[in-house]
Amino acid sequence: MKIIMLGAPGAGKGTQAKMIADKYHVPHISTGDIFRANIKNGTELGMEAKKYMDQGLLVPDELTVKILLDRVGQDDCKEGYVLDGFPRTIPQAEVLDKALANLGESIDYAIDVDVPDENIVERMSGRRACVSCGATYHLKHVPPKKEGICDKCGNELLLRDDDKPDTVLNRLKVYHDQTQPLIQFYGNKGVLKTVDGTQAMEDVFRSIIAILEN
């Protein structure tokens, strides 16, 4: 099962992708998480990606595509995967398509988690992420048991650098300009499914399962 999560920044792609990956035992692959891990480890790739991420801009396709193709070529991806945050541009989608076609494969579902811009800033400013394991919380919707501490690994929770309101507005603009056209791209391929992302998390997940198990 090969799934792509589409949706604006903060729509809940990561939240749902983790739940899908757990339920169906496939890897959750987030290019944003890969970049953040590289930033944390001070790698060259991380330093380069940070320049763009801090401004709410996309990391150039040349850097992003290679990382993603390497990752989906690994053994644990043989039975499928959930891609979260990739593709984000039409050229990225085309490269992925070609790489899959060479293997006689294709994407099964592109799930668009639909949330209007008005809801996004509130979601992002309340998000807290674990610096160590990447678990995500929300001060109002999914609070950790102990303030500022990850329930799963006990490490510190932080506001992501790119979740400050000005950067969020930039990310939304970039989303509308460069990523939203993918909705039509996957619609034309007949694999697009849309879920209402303004529902409670469990209800969004139920809608997704209904699509996958239909």
- Enumerate binding residues for ligand AP5 (CB under 6 A): 7, 9-15, 30-32, 35, 52-53, 56-59, 64, 85-86, 88, 92, 123, 126-127, 136-138, 141-142, 162, 171, 200-201, 204
The Cα 51–Cα 58 span in angstroms is 10
**Contact of residue 53 among Mg ion, ligand AP5, none (CB under 5-8 Å per partner type):** ligand AP5
HEC assignment per residue over 53-101: HCCCCCCCHHHHHHHHHHHHCCHHHCCCEEEECCCCCHHHHHHHHHHHH
- Whether the CB-CB separation of 2 and 81 falls below 8 Å is answered with yes
Catalytic residue among 88, 123, 128, 193: 88
134 binds Mg ion (CB under 5 A): no
Nearer to Mg ion, 88 or 193 (CB): 88
Positive or negative: CA dihedral 184, 165, 142, 152: positive
Assess whether 127 carries a catalytic annotation: yes
Nearest to 11 by CA among 113, 96, 105, 90: 113
Nearer to ligand AP5, 72 or 85 (CB): 85
Catalytic residue among 2, 13, 36, 128: 13
Smallest distance, Å, CB 92 to ligand AP5?
A: 6
Cα angle: 35, vertex 38, 44; to 5 degrees: 105
Span 1-40, contacts to Mg ion by CB under 5 A? 14
What are the angstrom distances between the C-alpha of 54 and each of 95, 119, 149? 26, 21, 24
Assess whether 123 carries a catalytic annotation: no
Smallest distance, Å, CB 69 to ligand AP5?
A: 12
Nearer to Mg ion, 54 or 190 (CB): 54
What's at 89, amino acid-wise?
A: T
Residues sharing a CB contact under 8 Å with residue 167, sequence separation 6 or more, in sequence order: 54, 55, 56, 161
Assess whether 206 carries a catalytic annotation: no
Nearer to ligand AP5, 20 or 104 (CB): 20
What is the token pair recorded at 213? 């198990």
Smallest distance, Å, CB 76 to ligand AP5?
A: 20
Residues forming contacts to Mg ion in the complex (CB under 5 A) are 14
Give catalytic residue positions.
13, 88, 127, 160, 171
